[in-house]
A and B are shown apart, each in its own frame.
Chain A
C-alpha cells in the first residue's frame, strides 16, 4: 500500500539547448523535482503558467526526456520515450487534457472514439465493443444515445466526459489530468470533479491532477505539490497546505482564490511590491522577485533549503517555518 505507483525522482528538464539560433545552453524548465503518487490516490500539482507543471506531465507521458533524474512506474524505470514503452505501459497511464475540442477527433463518432482503445488494447470487436462503449458512457453519466453523436454535437462538459471515458476504456492505473476543468463553467467543473472522485472510488484509479487553482484541489487531493518556475516549493496533505505556516508562494495562491464571500481576503491582499522583469538567478529561489518576505542577498543567490515540518509536510524556503508562522495570518479560517 505504501509502495509508490509513480515516482518522479529528482528530475531536471531542459528544452532546447545550444543550436544554430541559440548560443547559450538553455536554462532548465524544471529543477530537481521529486514527487510520488500512490495507488488509488489523487496527487495535485499546482502552479501558474510557466511553472513547468505540464512539462512534468509530458515527461510522465514519455513525450520528453528529462536531462537528469528518473521516472519509475511500479518500481520500473520508465524514463524512456513513448516509442520505447510497452503497450501495457501505454494502457496503464492515460491522459485527459485541458481542451476536449483539441483532443477528440471531430470527424469520429463517440462510439469510434471510445471503441479505438478497446480494439487497440483488448482486441474487442462487434457486440462486445458496443456493450463496453455503453458501459463507459454510463460510467461518465452520458445517455447511451450519445454513442452515435459527433463531438461537435456535445457541450464542453459533455466532451470532457467523453475524454474521461476514453481514458477509462484502457483500464488504467493512473490518469494524468492536465487542467481538465479550467476551460469549463464552474457549475460543470463541480460535476466533473464529483465524477472523477466517483470513478476513483469504484475503479481504484490514481490521478496526477494538474491545475493552477488551489481551490479546485482542496477537497479532492490526498497530497498537493506547489510548483513555481520549475521548482517544487511546498508539499503536503491539503490540511497541511491550507494551514500556516505557508510557503510564501502558497500564501499568495491562497489569497488569490475568489471565494463566494464578499468579505474574502482577495481585494485586501497587496500586490507584490516589485515585479522585476529581470528573471531570477537560476540558482536562487525563483519566487524571490515577488516574495514579500525575501531576504535580499540570500534568496536570489542560493537555492531555497528543504525544511521538513512533518511526515508528509515539507517546504523549501530560506525563512524558518516558525518565523513564517509568526509573520503570517490565517488565510483560510
Chain B
C-alpha cells in the first residue's frame, strides 16, 4: 500500500472493543485506511461488521461501554484520539461532519428546520448574527436542491418528505464547509428514486467543494455509483481494498464476490453459485480467517491461519491467502468441502 503524502484522514491499526456480558468483545481489529483530499472512500459490510463503529472513530466518538484498544486517527496532522473534548467539539460538525442513516431522528422535531441550521452556523462562528445565518441557510438550502428555500426555512421536520429531511441534514453537515464528510447509510431508509437523487446531489457537491467523503453501506451497488475506492469489511477486519472500477471488474476476496452477487440487478439473474450463505456470527469466529465458515473456497488450513490485508497486485489489497488460486480458477468451489462447517 502506498500512502499518499497528505491524506485528509489516516486511520492506523484501529482496534475497538465493546463491553458485553461482563467481558470485552473485539468489534474492530487492526483496521488501517486513509482518505485523500477530495476522495470518496466506500466502506462496505453486513450488519455487525464494525463499519459504523469504524466510521464513528473518525469523530473520536466512543459509544458508552466501548474502548479503543489501540490505533490512531490522524486528521489534518492531529491524532483525534488524543484530543480533549473541547477541541473535538470544535472539530465535529465543522471540519468533520456526519450524515446519519435516519434523517428524522437527527433533526429536532419541535424546531423549524431553518433555525436548526442557523444554530449550527452560530455555534461554530460561521455566522456572527441571526441575519447572516438566515441568508447563509437560504444559500445552503438552494445548494442541496430544496425547492423554495424561504418557505422551507419555516417548516418543521414532520412537514417534509424523507428525501427533503435528508437534504436538510446534508445542508447541516455542509454548513461549515467540512473537509471530511462521513455518511452512514444515508439513503438506506429512502425510496430508490430519492436515493438516486441524493447520490447525484452528493456527486455534485463533492465536485463543487472538493471535500473528502467516507460512505458507509451494506449495498455495494450504491458504492459503485459514487466511490473512488472501496474497502470491504468483515467481522471487524478489512478483507479487501481496491479502486472502484477494479473491485467490480475483478473482486478478489470470496466475501467481496458474494457481496457483489447479492446486489439486486436488472441485467442478469442472480448467480446462485456465488451467493453468500449463512450469517455473520460473532460468537462463532474461528482463530484463522474469520470468513472461513461461510466461504465456499475454504480448506482446513483457512480455519487456523489468520489473514491480514496484504498487497495482491497493484492496486488491490486482499486478506485471503488463496486469492491467486481462486482468481486463476485453479481453486474451485467443488473441491473444498471443509467450508460446509
Contact = CB atoms under 8 A, between A and B. Distances in A.
Interface of A: 48-49, 155-158, 185-191, 194, 212-216, 218-219, 242, 252-262, 264, 266-267, 269, 271, 275-277, 331-333
B264 interface: yes
A107 B226 CA distance: 43
B69 interface: no
Contacts of A188: 46, 279
16 contacts: A185-B218, A187-B46, A190-B275, A213-B192, A242-B266, A255-B196, A256-B195, A257-B266, A258-B192, A258-B225, A260-B220, A260-B221, A260-B248, A260-B263, A267-B199, A332-B267
B291 to A, nearest CB: 12
A269 B196 contact: yes
B266 A218 contact: yes
Interface stretch (B17-25, B108-116, B131-139, B253-261): B253-261
A215 B221 CA distance: 11
Contacts of A216: 264
Given A258-B196, A259-B221, A266-B196, A49 B260 contact: no
Given A157-B279, A262-B225, A267-B226, A189 B192 contact: no
Contact of A261 (B147, B195, B219, B248): B248
A186 B259 contact: yes
Given A215-B265, A219-B270, A254-B266, A185 B221 contact: no
Given A258-B196, A262-B224, A186 B218 contact: yes
Nearest to A212: B191
7 closest A-B pairs (Cβ-Cβ)?
A: A256-B196, A215-B264, A258-B221, A48-B191, A187-B262, A260-B263, A190-B262
A271 B197 contact: yes
A256 B264 CA distance: 12
A256 B270 contact: no
Contacts of B222: 258
B140 to A, nearest CB: 18
A209 to B, nearest CB: 13
Interface residues of B, number: 45
B276 A260 contact: no
B191 A49 contact: yes
Contact of A259 (B259, B262, B265, B272): B265
A332 B266 contact: yes
B275 A191 contact: yes
Contacts of A333: 267
B274 to A, nearest CB: 10
A266 B199 contact: yes
B224 A258 contact: yes
B226 A264 contact: no
Interface string B206-250: 000000000000111110111000000000000000001100100
Interface in B262-321: 262-267, 269-270, 272, 275-277, 279
Contact of A260 (B193, B196, B260, B272): B260
Interface in B141-163: 145, 147-148, 161-162
A260 B218 CA distance: 12
A186 B203 CA distance: 23
Given A271-B200, A277-B148, A253 B263 contact: no
A271 B207 CA distance: 17
Given A190-B261, A260-B224, 10 more contacts: A48-B192, A212-B192, A257-B192, A257-B221, A257-B266, A258-B221, A262-B244, A267-B203, A269-B200, A333-B267
Which of A258, A264, A267 has its CB near the most chain B CB atoms (within 10 A)?
A258
Nearest to A48: B191
A186 B46 CA distance: 8
B225 A266 contact: yes
A90 B148 CA distance: 48
B195 A214 contact: no
Contacts of B218: 185-187
